[in-house]
């Protein structure tokens, strides 16, 4: 996977994770382009589009779009599955997740993503294991809190 | 100290935390930028404090702002500070910020190496984990090199949590620092059998991605993966493994059978079909996929189904064709992704029968389509579909012309030139259509104002270029040339782009000549002719004033001509014939490679210098000298001229040597493309350079470099040889090392006789194919064989046969059969008996030639072989079976493959030397048996001789020194054949070595034969 973007229906970026080294300028251009193209698509269209030499897989959950870019030979369905698994993880962690959860706890959302994907590849497919790792890391954080 | 901590936390109470920042931004919707700039100021203050908690809070906020698009690169150093905090809470924030904000050009990254190394070896697994995660996002080649060892140790960490991360990050490390792959690979392989499923799936992931880049190296892992596939229950892992098999199948067909093992979910199916196009499992996949495609109409499945179909289409066109209606329906889909996919599929599905229907449907879509990109896409697809393989599917060209004309009505298309080139192409190549085309084009010209309405933003006026040209060139078909001429000279034309105006002017002249011709037949009516001249004289001045030079030039030239003609007309002189003579002769389409077929006139050496080129350094000297004595420049030049002519051969040679030495020592001198002699020069030293014969570019057979002169010469020789050959068995064979192509011919379908025949200009006609006018063969077929080894398989030889229909009738149902010998067998499709014949996958209209390839499997390549065969066919009018016997001669040479010494061409001297070393070693190794041959009475130049050996016998020159050369070739079964060719006074001796004496003897015999025939 090359990168993952989360953005709202208004086109506001909520999360971005880049697995390829790109300069800030390129990143901005790509996310602007993609957000525009995807928002222009109607709900009854398929979740895939070919964009430059990449395949874009996206899915909408409530008001949030989850969008991944994968290479040409990669499987679209498994990418869709990855998106869904990530949403499930967020849901489990926050307890019926909503956009605001991600806005206000955006670092947590990143931590979950980092436990689930590493370097653009799925690292842990078991939901239980991901959440366990996050919980323990959080616990560690609480203990070392200075006050 | 305690006080300080308390003070710090009190301070913190007044700081904004991330939540406050987010809330603040949401509350300041109107002046967001201003709010954020104050926030950034605060953050800068916070970063200056010593308290790490404050700092990490600030960094966290920065990360958020970075996402919103603000530049935070100035805080990179602060991020590193937070990363190096000993507390996990802050470290986590620091690494997160780093992974979001750092990229390869961030310079502080090098500061992090030691910190990351410390974290990697931390006793706390979460510290290590967070470092690994961060590293995965910003790893650079330097970091990868420095940390590869640490990560490799982590791969065998006791905790699976770390192992799995370490395994995954190794992939990133491999990409950045490929040298680490070799030492790490054994451990990576071990991880495939890790007890922890997470680690296992990570290892599968990594190897699968690596294998995709270079599948060959991973073939040995196939059994292990097969075991994993049968034992694993994890769907994610399964899909990855299947993807891996997909990459491996092209190399090892056995792996493919594994794929059919698990047809469980749609997603697996898709990866199957995309990975294994050559396996029957894909057909099954198609059937299953197309079911939801028709029933469920689920858009995701629909898209994937179409995608799978396009992959299957390449291998099994029949099975997709049956879904034509379904695919046409998809064109109506709202979704552009789906429509584009469906369009791709249509391209492969057309046949003579359904072409018109499909195009009609597409035309409807063109009208409806919104958005120019999609419409342009449709337009190009229509043209692609119609024009594919030389208009193979078009049965009625009148229809095609009208389609093209209809397409010109599209507004705002960018593809005017495409339509124009199609019009030109069809009009030139299909003679029968010209009258119709001209009529259509005349109408177009007449209605030009419809097209040019929006000249600025559309390329459609390009069509007028074609229209004007066709009307002019084929003006004899025009019903009313006068009207067309008038249309072409309207003042509005001057607004068209320059190159179109130029064509207008030129073709106006052509039309003028036609008008004159038509009128002067009836002498009473010379008034019309004079009116026409007057019209031109009135209208052309507009073009003479054009700002385009070419238009100006043509217009003024023609204007003068017409004025002159008018003068003659007034004296009642008949001018029509002379004017027509200006445009006599037919213009023909020329294939891009046609130039090669033009024979070089005897005695013309294209490579020889006409004048010896003055050397660069000399002219420089000369320049300096004359500059210095600028006053006497005139005198000087008078002096130097005669001096130049007096320079004798000896001095020239001396000068050349000096120049060479100078060039060799000058690092800035860009050397000419290296030839074999050059190689020799540089390897030995400058002093020994023989004076170079510049006309020799022949001995090295360089792939991709045109050597037309060589071909032409050889062609002539071969032509003579063929005459002799043909007398023997009415066949000719031709050897040439070309790569084998897949031989799936187009599906033959029922006969639909085309209404018009196309002049086929074969672009890929093999350069040295010679069509033979074989009046001797019973009826109408000649074939040209091309026997060549198959590089990939030591026992396969591909024979290309060109069938040419020389009679006036349609030939069909051609069947090709060869009597197998013990050693060589024709490869027949599975299930066919050993004596069954193969159907040639095409029909031959009169005058058409086409090529078919047949594969033979050969056991031993030591002996030459002759195979007898027959070709049966039906001539359409008589509908009786005709038979033609032929012989196929498999010479030993045809088993040799030209294996150029690639490194000879390499600019790197070391590599070149290595190449010679390898060659020398091979000769010294003693594995090769020797044999020799003497040819006498050879009076052709040495380089011609070498070229002939290269060409006829698939050798390549390794090295040439004066009148001595070493050559090399390989057989399809890997035998090395080395030749040492020497020449002295019309005698050529060839010493040869090969690890297979039988093969060598036969090859030498064949070489002898080649030279005895000339």
Residues 6+ apart with CB under 8 A from B819: B867, B868, B869
User: Is A42 within 8 Å of chain B by CB?
Assistant: yes
Half-sphere exposure of A16 (CA within 13 A, CB side): 25
Tell me the pLDDT band of B194, cut-offs 50, 70 and 90: confident
CB contact A107 to B (< 8 Å): yes
CA distance to partner chain A, nearest, from residue B792 (Å)? 26
Alpha-carbon distance A17 to nearest alpha carbon in chain B (angstroms): 7
d(CA B625, CA B641): 14
Chain A residues within an 8 Å CB radius of B93: 107
Give residue-wise pLDDT tens across range B850-861. Answer: 777 778 787 777
The per-residue pLDDT for range A87-128, each reduced to its tens digit, is 989 998 888 888 888 888 888 899 899 888 888 888 887 888
CB B222 within 8 A of CB B236: no
Q: For residue A59, what are the β-bridge partners?
A: A66
* Maximum C-alpha span of chain B: 124
Q: Does the reported pTM lie above 0.80?
A: no
For B649-701, give the DSSP string.
HHHHHHHHHHHHHHHHH-TTPPPPPP-HHHHHHHHH-GGGPPPP-TT---SS-
The CA distance from B832 to the nearest CA of chain A, in Å, is 37
Long-range contacts of B40-46 (CB under 8 A, 24+ apart): B40/B65, B40/B70, B42/B15, B42/B16, B43/B75, B46/B15
Tell me if B88 and A126 make a contact (CB, 8 A cut-off).
Answer: no
Query: Best mutation site among A38, A50, A75, A83 for testing chain B: the one with the most B CBs within 10 Å?
Result: A75
**B924 pLDDT higher than 80:** no
Q: SS3 of B114, please?
A: helix
Output the average pLDDT for chain B: 71
Rounded-to-integer distance, Cα B444 and Cα B438, Å: 10
- How does residue B668 score in pLDDT terms, banded at 50, 70 and 90? low
Q: Which residues of B touch A141 (CB under 8 A)?
A: 88-89, 92
Is A51 within 8 Å of chain B by CB?
no
Tell me what the mean pLDDT of segment B157-170 comes to. 88
Q: What is the pLDDT of residue B6?
A: 53
Beta-bridge mates of residue B976: B970
B53 interaction partners in chain A (CB closer than 8 Å): 146
Contact residues on chain A for B126, CB-CB shorter than 8 A: 133, 136-137, 140
Q: Show residues of chain A in contact with B19, CB under 8 Å.
A: 104
Kindly determine whether residue A141 and residue B67, on different chains, have CB atoms separated by under 8 Å. Answer: no
* pLDDT greater than 70 at residue B113: yes
Distance CA B300, CA B333 (A): 12
pLDDT band at B709 (very low <50, low <70, confident <90, very high): very low
Give the gap in angstroms from C-alpha A87 to the nearest C-alpha of chain B.
17
Residue A147 burial (CB count, 10 A): 8
Place of tokens 């012309």: B401
Tell me which of B650 and B18 has the higher pLDDT.
B18
Interface residue of B151, B271, B377 to substitute, partner A, most A CBs within 10 Å: B271
- Look at B303 and A19 and tell me if their CB atoms are within 8 Å: no
Higher pLDDT, B3 or B918: B918
Interface contacts A/B by beta carbons within 8 Å: 154
Provide the β-strand partners of residue B933. Answer: B990
Instruction: Give bridge partners of residue A18 from the DSSP assignment.
Output: A3
| pLDDT for res B911 | 55
Q: Is the pLDDT of residue B456 over 60?
A: no
Specify the pLDDT at position B293.
35
Nearest chain B residue to A71, by CA = B209
Confidence grade of residue B809 (pLDDT, cut at 50, 70, 90): confident
Considering B316-320, B552-556, B949-953, the range whose residues carry the highest mean pLDDT is B552-556
Q: Determine the distance from the C-alpha atom of residue B694 to the mean position of all C-alpha atoms in its chain, rounded to a whole number.
A: 33
> At residue A78, does pLDDT exceed 60?
yes
User: Which residues in B lie closer than 8 A to residue A126 (C-beta atoms)?
Assistant: 197-198
Nearest-angstrom CA–CA distance, A98 and B325: 44
Distances from the Cα of B119 to the Cαs of B97, B107, B150, B176, B346, in angstroms? 16, 20, 11, 21, 57
Closest-CA residue in chain B for A59? B300
How many whole angstroms separate alpha carbon B784 and alpha carbon B765?
12
Q: What is the DSSP letter of B739?
A: -
CB contact under 8 A, B337 and A46: yes
Q: Confidence band (pLDDT; 50, 70, 90) for B196?
A: confident
Task: Give the ipTM.
Answer: 0.90
pLDDT at B569: 81
Contact criterion met (CB < 8 Å) for A49 and B22: no
Nearest-by-Cβ selection for B69 from A28, A126, A145: A28
Taking the C-alpha atoms of residue B758 and residue B770, their distance in angstroms, rounded to an integer, is 21
> Measured between alpha carbons, how far is residue B170 from residues B161, B859, B861, B1014 in Å?
15, 46, 48, 64
Chain B: give the shortest CA distance to residue A59, in Å: 11
More confident residue, B686 or B445: B445
> Nearest to residue B309, comparing CAs of B293, B329, B331?
B293
Spell B481-506 as b/e; 16+ CB within 10 A means b: bbebbbbbbeeebbebeeebbbbbbb
pLDDT band at A1 (very low <50, low <70, confident <90, very high): confident
What is the arithmetic mean of pLDDT over B56-62? 87
Helices B141-154 and B113-120, packing angle to 10 deg: 10
The model's confidence at residue B5, banded by pLDDT at 50, 70 and 90, is low
Whether B900 and B702 have beta carbons less than 8 Å apart is answered as yes
The reply to whether A18 touches chain B by the CB within 8 Å rule is yes
Residue pLDDT, tens place only, B127-145: 888 888 888 888 888 888 8
Of B37-51, B393-407, B715-729, which gets the smallest average pLDDT?
B715-729
> Hey, are the CB atoms on A141 and B88 less than 8 Å from each other?
yes
* pLDDT at site B766: 36
Closest by Cβ to B103, choosing from A13, A21, A140: A21
| B189 min Cα distance to partner chain A (Å) | 17
What is the DSSP pairing of strand B732-735 with strand B781-789? parallel
Q: How many residues are present in chain B? A: 1014
CB contact residues (below 8 A), chain A span 86-105, against chain B: 103-104
Contact between chains at B266 and A141 (C-beta distance less than 8 A): no
Closest CA relative to residue B297, chosen from B323, B329, B270, B325: B329
| B344 chain-A contacts, CB cut-off 8 A | none
| Chain centroid, CA A46 distance in Å | 19
Residues in chain B closer than 8 A to A2 (CB atoms)? none
Single out the residue of B948, B939, B986, B984 nearest to residue B967, CA to CA: B948
Residues from chain B contacting residue A125 (CB–CB below 8 Å): 198, 201, 234, 236-237
Give the distance from residue B181's alpha carbon to the nearest chain A alpha carbon, in angstroms. 17
Cβ of B18 within 8 Å of Cβ of A104? The answer is yes
pLDDT at B264 over 50: no
Chain length of chain A: 147
Q: Do B88 and A111 lie within an 8 Å CB cutoff?
A: no
B623: pLDDT strictly greater than 50: no
d(CA A97, CA A112): 13
- Long-range Cβ pairs for the range B651-656 (8 Å, 24+): B652/B612, B653/B691, B655/B615, B655/B618, B656/B615, B656/B691, B656/B692
CA distances from B393 to B385, B428, B429, B745 (A): 9, 18, 15, 14
Asked if B132 and A123 come within 8 Å (Cβ–Cβ), the reply is no
Cβ of A121 and B202 within 8 Å? yes
Contacts of A136 in chain B (CB under 8 A): 126
The verdict on A73 touching B (C-beta cutoff 8 Å) is: yes
Angle at B182 between CA B178 and CA B188, to 5 degrees: 100
**Who among B71, B161, B172 is closest to A24 (CB)?**
B71
Residues of chain B in contact with residue A78, where contact means CB-CB under 8 angstroms, are 236, 239, 267
Contacts of A44 in chain B (CB under 8 A): 299, 334-335
Determine what percent of chain B is predicted with pLDDT higher than 70: 69
Cβ separation A48–B168 shorter than 8 A? no
């008001």: which residue's tokens?
A63
């Amino acid at each position: 996977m090359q990168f993952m973007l989360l953005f709202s229906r208004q086109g506001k970026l909520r999360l971005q994770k880049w697995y390829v080294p790109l300069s800030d300028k390129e990143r901005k251009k790509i996310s602007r382009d993609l957000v525009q193209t995807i928002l222009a698509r109607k709900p009854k269209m398929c979740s895939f589009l070919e964009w430059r030499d990449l395949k874009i897989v996206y899915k909408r959950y409530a008001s949030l779009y989850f969008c991944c870019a994968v290479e040409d030979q990669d499987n679209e369905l498994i990418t869709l599955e990855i998106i869904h698994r990530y949403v499930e993880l967020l849901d489990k962690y926050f307890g019926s997740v909503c956009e605001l959860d991600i806005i206000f706890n955006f670092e947590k959302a990143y931590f979950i993503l980092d436990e689930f994907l590493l370097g653009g590849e799925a690292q842990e497919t078991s939901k239980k294991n991901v959440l366990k790792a996050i919980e323990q890391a959080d616990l560690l954080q609480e203990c070392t809190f200075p006050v | 100290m305690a006080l300080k901590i308390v003070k710090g936390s009190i301070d913190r109470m007044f700081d904004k935390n991330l939540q406050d920042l987010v809330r603040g931004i949401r509350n300041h919707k109107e002046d967001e930028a201003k709010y954020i700039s104050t926030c950034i100021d605060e953050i800068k203050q916070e970063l200056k404090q010593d308290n790490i908690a404050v700092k990490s809070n600030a960094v966290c906020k920065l990360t958020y702002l970075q996402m919103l698009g603000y530049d935070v690169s100035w805080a990179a150093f602060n991020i590193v500070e937070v990363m190096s905090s000993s507390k996990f809470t802050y470290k986590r924030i620091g690494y997160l910020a780093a992974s979001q904000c750092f990229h390869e050009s961030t310079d502080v990254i090098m500061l992090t190496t030691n910190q990351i190394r410390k974290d990697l070896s931390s006793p706390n697994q979460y510290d290590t984990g967070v470092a690994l995660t961060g590293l995965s996002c910003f790893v650079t080649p330097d970091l990868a090199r420095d940390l590869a060892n640490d990560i490799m140790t982590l791969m065998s960490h006791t905790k699976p949590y770390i192992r799995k991360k370490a395994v995954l990050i190794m992939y990133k490390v491999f990409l950045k620092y490929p040298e680490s792959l070799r030492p790490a690979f054994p451990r990576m392989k071990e991880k495939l059998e890790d007890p922890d499923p997470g680690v296992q799936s990570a290892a599968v992931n990594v190897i699968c991605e690596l294998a995709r880049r270079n599948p060959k190296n991973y073939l040995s892992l196939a059994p292990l993966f097969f075991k994993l596939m049968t034992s694993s229950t994890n769907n994610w892992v399964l899909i990855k493994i299947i993807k891996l098999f997909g990459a491996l199948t092209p190399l090892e067909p056995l792996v493919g059978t594994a794929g059919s093992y698990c047809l469980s979910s749609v997603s697996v199916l898709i990866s199957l079909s995309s990975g294994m196009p050559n396996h029957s499992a894909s057909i099954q996949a198609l059937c299953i996929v197309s079911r939801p495609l028709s029933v469920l109409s689920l858009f995701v499945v629909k898209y994937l189904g179409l995608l799978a179909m396009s992959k299957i289409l390449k291998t099994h066109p029949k099975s997709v064709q049956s879904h034509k209606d379904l695919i046409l329906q998809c064109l109506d889909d709202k979704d552009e992704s789906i429509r584009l996919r469906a369009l791709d599929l249509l391209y492969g599905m057309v046949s003579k029968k359904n072409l018109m229907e499909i195009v009609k449907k597409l035309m409807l879509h063109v009208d409806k389509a919104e958005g120019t990109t999609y419409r342009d896409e449709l337009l190009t697809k229509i043209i692609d579909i119609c024009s594919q393989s030389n208009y193979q599917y078009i049965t009625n060209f009148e229809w095609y012309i009208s389609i093209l004309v209809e397409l010109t009505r599209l507004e705002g298309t960018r593809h005017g030139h495409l339509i124009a080139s199609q019009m030109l192409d069809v009009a030139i190549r299909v003679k029968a259509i010209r009258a119709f085309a001209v009529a259509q084009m005349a109408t177009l010209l007449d209605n030009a104002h419809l097209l040019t309405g929006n000249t600025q933003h559309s390329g459609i006026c390009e069509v007028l270029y074609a229209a004007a040209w066709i009307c002019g060139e084929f003006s004899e078909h025009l019903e009313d040339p006068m009207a067309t001429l008038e249309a072409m000279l309207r003042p509005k034309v001057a607004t068209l782009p320059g190159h179109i105006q130029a064509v207008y002017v030129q073709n106006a002249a052509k039309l003028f000549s036609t008008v004159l011709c038509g009128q002067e037949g009836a002498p009473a009516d010379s008034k019309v002719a004079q009116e026409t001249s007057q019209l031109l004289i009135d209208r052309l001045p507009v073009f003479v004033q054009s700002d385009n030079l070419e238009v100006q030039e043509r217009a003024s030239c023609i204007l003068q001509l017409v004025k002159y003609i008018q003068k003659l007309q007034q004296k009642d002189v008949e001018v029509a014939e002379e004017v027509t003579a200006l445009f006599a002769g037919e213009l023909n389409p020329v294939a891009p490679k046609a130039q090669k077929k033009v024979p070089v006139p005897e005695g013309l050496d294209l490579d020889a210098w006409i004048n010896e080129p003055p050397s660069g350094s000399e002219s420089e000297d000369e320049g300096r000298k004359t500059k210095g004595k600028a006053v006497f420049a005139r005198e000087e030049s008078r002096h130097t001229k005669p001096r130049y002519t007096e320079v004798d051969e000896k001095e020239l040679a001396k000068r050349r040597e000096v120049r060479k030495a100078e060039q060799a020592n000058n690092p800035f001198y860009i050397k000419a493309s290296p030839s074999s002699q050059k190689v020799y020069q540089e390897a030995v030293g400058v002093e020994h350079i023989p004076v170079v014969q510049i006309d020799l570019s022949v001995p090295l057979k360089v792939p991709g470099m045109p050597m037309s002169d060589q071909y032409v010469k050889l062609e002539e020789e071969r032509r003579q040889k063929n005459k002799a050959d043909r007398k023997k068995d009415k066949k000719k064979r031709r050897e040439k090392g070309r790569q084998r192509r897949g031989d799936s011919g187009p599906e033959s379908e029922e006969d639909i006789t085309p209404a018009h025949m196309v002049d086929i200009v074969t672009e890929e006609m093999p350069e040295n194919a010679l069509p033979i006018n074989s009046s001797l063969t019973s009826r109408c077929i000649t074939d040209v064989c091309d026997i060549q080894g198959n590089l990939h398989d030591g026992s396969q030889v591909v024979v290309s046969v060109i069938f040419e229909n020389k009679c006036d009738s349609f030939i069909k149902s051609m069947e090709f059969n060869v009597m197998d010998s013990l050693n060589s067998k024709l490869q027949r499709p599975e299930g066919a008996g050993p004596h069954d014949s193969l159907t040639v996958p095409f029909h031959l209209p009169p005058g058409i030639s086409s090529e078919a390839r047949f594969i033979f499997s050969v056991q031993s390549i030591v002996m030459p072989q002759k195979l007898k065969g027959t070709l049966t066919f039906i001539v359409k009018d008589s509908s009786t079976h005709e038979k033609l016997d032929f012989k196929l001669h498999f010479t030993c040479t045809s088993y040799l493959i030209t294996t150029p010494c690639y490194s000879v061409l390499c600019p790197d001297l070391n590599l070149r030397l290595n190449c010679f070393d390898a060659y020398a070693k091979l000769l010294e190794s003693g594995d090769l048996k020797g044999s020799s041959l003497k040819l006498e009475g050879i009076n052709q130049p040495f380089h011609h001789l070498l070229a002939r050996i290269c060409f006829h016998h698939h050798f390549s020159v390794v090295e040439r020194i004066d009148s001595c050369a070493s050559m090399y070739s390989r057989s399809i079964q890997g035998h090395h054949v080395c030749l040492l060719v020497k020449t002295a006074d019309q005698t050529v001796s060839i010493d040869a070595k090969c690890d297979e004496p039988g093969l060598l003897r036969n090859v030498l015999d064949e070489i002898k034969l080649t030279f005895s025939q000339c």
